[in-house]
Structure 1
Amino acid sequence: MTTTNAPVEAQEKPAHVDPARALSDGAVVPIQTRSERPRSFEPADFGAPTGREVNWKHTPIDRLAPLFERAEANDGVAYSFASGERFAAAPLAAGQAPRGEFFVPEDVTAAVAWQGATEALHIQLPKEAELDEPVVLRIEGQGADRRADAHIVIEALPMSKGTVVLQHTGSAQYAQNVEIIARDGSDLTVISVQQWDDEAIHASAHQARVDRDASLTHFVVTFGGGVVRVNPNLELSGQGSNGEMFGLSYSDSGQHFESQVYLFHKGAETTGDVLYKGALQGESARSVWIGDVLIGPDAVGTDSYEANRNLVLTNGARADSIPNLEIQTGDIKGAGHASATGRFDDEQLFYLQARGISETEARRLVVLGFLAEIPQKIQVPELQERLIAAIEREIAEGVSA
């Protein structure tokens, strides 16, 4: 990636128009960057996706179709706290702050979830508190044919520090919004773990704002589900704010795991780091990663990097990886992106086998070494161990298949 120090005004490019995308009034919306996508709280303003839209063209529309309409009974999942229940504040109705302070839907499933969630679950870290254990919210699917819409607000008050884990299991048809606000000086970690059954479909929009001198570390970890689409949007709005976004996925035959990541450097002296890793095995295993980084005109002194790396383990698996970087100021410390998708490194296998390690064990070591970097960044020992064990199980199932 080659960048230039010339101001953005000197780099005019023709507008890219998506003719398939229109609001309900028929006006065509030119789409150049993630930030220019249309937003609305009304599902009708988006309409049902056709698969030609820029943000849907890699997604299996037919499999996600149940999430394009509001849940009637809204009983598809059950919520419970494994720890940290005392940090659950009173539920929030639509329009009740801080719900909607930052979040605005940018696709139909997020708008459906907004309308369908009459009350939002609110997790709040108290001012200047430092949590000695994570807040763990269990989200358990109640059946493959049952629907649920949800809005969850995670708020770290000034100078607080803590970790919130969203643990998804079971099976459901689940449209979910997660609104994250890290206020001045806070240090927040949010970990979303998807270990659904194979029949589950899950579309989630995570939108986060990080204020002055605050820090957010965000994880998306997906091992289970039929179609799981988790799209995180992180805005570094305050001066000196920091954002780190990590992802890990292991897709098997018939599974589609997707993340469209957006990191917006809005404030000055902000730092950002994005690293997503995935492994794929089995016929029709699929992963999609789209990474957009925007360094705004006021984001002087920014330092930003994004990378996506995928390991394809069998024939028939496919990984799509699309990094994008837009810079609107020349006064930055650095910015870049990288993407790599490949198979086993034969030299690594040869090296290990030459030292008496069997081919099966050598492959296990290579895959584990590739993926373990992400769970090792999670500062929750029990969860870290559980995720490493999940990787081991996935590798073993691939070897025995």
Structure 2
Amino acid sequence: MNGLIELIYNFFQGMGVPAALLPLLPFLTVMAVVYALLFLITRFLVRKKVIHMKTASFYMFVSVWVFGFLLFTLGPMVFSFYISFTQWEVVSDPVWAGTDNYRMLFKDTMFYKSLAVTFYYTLVSVPLQVVLSFGIALLMNLKLRGIYVFRTVYYLPTLVQGVAQMVLFIWIFNPNVGLINSVLRFAGIHGPAWLSDPHWSMPAIILMSLWTVGGNMIIYLAGLSDIPQSLYEQAEIDGATVLRRLWHVTLPQISPILFFNAVTSMIGAFQTFTQGFLVNGGPDNSLLFYAYYLYQPGCCRLFVCCLLTRQPSPGFWPLAVLSPSRPGSARSRCRSADASTGTAAASPEWSRCGRRPWPRPPHA
């Protein structure tokens, strides 16, 4: 496969294609060939009346999703499961290591620390997000003048997420000039150090997670608008109070949406990475989320291997472009190569990329 990718890469490079497009061309070429073959096979089957034209059109349209799922979801999952049993330096062939990686994983105390941090964040932040967004949706569902303005105001913060959101809240939680501590200081309260204090860093991140409840609010509003008004009218005629109407009418009708938002919020909480990445795990590893724990020995070491080669394989470049770390940056300069011997020497900057490199299997 690498030989085919390099062949296609060199072909387009010889044609003078801009360097920015070269990493994508091998993938696009393979996909074009696959779809051309699929089209010819489908056309042949239609002519032979093996399948109907509508059936062929269905398979052609659904094949886009199928190929995307196989290439970008199922394929990487299967490959990741395979390489978890190997010792792989990216630029060399994988060496079978058996279950050594898993044994080292379960012996690593930081693994359990990352699980505890992630579960703590999930179990606290997800219920708060679900309840708060549902409460705001109930208020935004009232028939009041100018309610659309308030809906917009509550939804706008969801447009600022990821790194931008974390950078914003790093300033908000600044113990000296931050907005929260400034307000507390004005009220005569000495605010905590927030992200610099292991006891307050997680509550700060949980509070920050409520910034994006507007997304769930919109989904709740769509569900609330679909509830028939006749149900509320009948309950009101029967003498049901507001709380009883909420419990016996609103919640049962909107329960599928509650479940959907709870599941998606839980998935997002388990995938939390940026919050731990930008503060390097937080004080005393209090923000060492599981995704960031995986990044430390995995992706960071990946770019160390890339830097130790003079010219990485063209198939590796798309991965380098899409990764949060860039070759040549301060974070990626974790090790330096000895020009005379071509060997890797340990660098003090390794600690900036992760707290420690992943250990090798005993026999490697």
TM-score normalised by L of structure 2: 0.26
Higher strand proportion (structure 1 or 2): 1
Higher helix proportion (structure 1 or 2): 2
Task: Give the structure with higher Rg (CA).
Answer: 2
TM-score normalised by L of structure 1: 0.24
Which one has more relative contact order, counting CA pairs under 8 Å at least 6 apart?
Answer: 2
